[in-house]
Amino acid sequence: MEIWINPACSKCRSAIGLLDAEGAEYTVRRYLEDVPSEDEIREVLDRLGLEPWDITRTQEAAAKELGLKEWARDDSSRDRWVAALAAHPKLIQRPIITADDGSALVARTDDAVQDALSRK
């Protein structure tokens, strides 16, 4: 599995701690440094079963500067949202775990991390 993290995020550090405690094998992706492409974001969204606005941190300064709260949330706007996430990766909700079974989840709680660990 892979986990997208921001090391400054307490939820990310908590998820890593839980993965380590369980002896899980995983790869860390510091997505602010190793920025996902638009295609990678689309793939993760498909695996999550979510839309880009569902994983966007709308309280971030960049979101406010872009006026994201006013952007349409429909199929015709999806590419615009994905492009914004690729251009401003700090807007991506974290941590995101891509599980070995092809699924993914936003692992902001211990239960979500445990869920990821149970997927094979």
Contact status, residue 94 vs residue 41, Cβ threshold 8 Å? no
- The string of pLDDT tens digits covering residues 66-106 is 999 999 999 999 999 999 999 999 999 999 999 889 999 99
Pairing status of strand 2-5 against strand 27-30: parallel
User: What's the whole-number mean pLDDT along residues 54-70?
Assistant: 95
Across the chain, what does the average pLDDT equal?
A: 95
pTM: 0.93
Which of residues 100 and 37 earns the better pLDDT score?
A: 37
pLDDT at 25: 94
